[in-house]
Structure 1
Amino acid sequence: MKQIAEEFLGKEVVEAVITIPARFNFSQRQKTREAADYAGLTVLRLLHEPTAAAIAYGMQNEAKRDGRHVLVYDLGGGTFDVSVLAMEEGTFDIFTSAGDTHLGGMN
């Protein structure tokens, strides 16, 4: 993925924000960081996948975001994750993120 990003951007990528399932435990998070380090990336932040989706939505729909509470769900191949957040005056307050590793589509 690093190589694809570098080819698309036309420059070296050294930092990354990485999305992860909401139910990743400490060990899984640590292994994700180690994999990024092995690829030559500095991890700026790990974000839960539905949280990242809500932030991306809010950034593209500025007029619609103020004063809203949002529930975002991610029904993935192996997990079902949700995040609840508020969007107000350009900030995103994340209330909670949770998930279930047994409700995904490929179990």
Structure 2
Amino acid sequence: MPTPIWPHPCPGCRHTVSAYFSNSQRQATKDAGAIAGLNVIRIINEPTAAAIAYGLNYKGEKKNVVVFDIGGGTCDDSILTISKGTFKVRATAGDTHLGREDFDNRIVAHFAKEFKRK
């Protein structure tokens, strides 16, 4: 076993990945964490992680949430139900052909135009 890169103990960490990652890619991510000296106990889809962050302080009634993660290379989506601090993933998907820098630039240009207009 190689010497861990991270010299401090890590009793358990969570790692986010794109929604389109296959099971073998998820396992490779866990293996890479182990090589780095991390104990990866959970792999979470990026849009699911965003929804969890969004709903951490949510104390209201049960609701369904759709999260779009449009990044520099993909578009990942998750549909979750948030209820009493519990997050249930209903569906998740990703598309490697949406996103990219040109998409980000168009979104920024659109909202800058809207901001100036208003």
Cα displacement string for residues 30-80 of structure 1 (whole angstroms, at most 9, x for unaligned residues): 211111000111111000000011011111x3235x311100010011110
Tell me, what secondary structure is at the counterpart of 2:92? strand
Matched, 1:30 2:38: no
Matched, 1:48 2:52: no
Q: 1:28 Cα shift?
A: 1.3
Unpaired segments of 5 or more residues in structure 1?
none
Amino acid at match of 2:97: H
Aligned partner (choices 88, 97, 106) of residue 102 of structure 1 = 97
Output the CA distance in 2 between the equivalents of 1:62 and 1:38.
36
Amino acid at match of 1:37: A
- RMSD (Å) for aligned C-alpha atoms: 2.0
Aligned partner (choices 25, 49, 58) of residue 62 of structure 1 = 58
Q: TM-score with structure 1 length normalisation? A: 0.81
Unpaired segments of 5 or more residues in structure 2?
103-118
Amino acid at match of 1:39: A
Aligned residue in 1 for 2:88: 93
Q: Kindly indicate whether the alpha-carbon contact (under 8 Å) linking 2:9 and 2:38 is maintained by their aligned counterparts in 1.
A: no
Larger strand proportion of the pair: 1
Q: TM-score with structure 2 length normalisation? A: 0.74
CA radius of gyration, larger in: 2
Give the fraction of aligned pairs with identical amino acids, expressed as a percent.
46
Greater than 4 Å deviation, 4+ residue runs: none
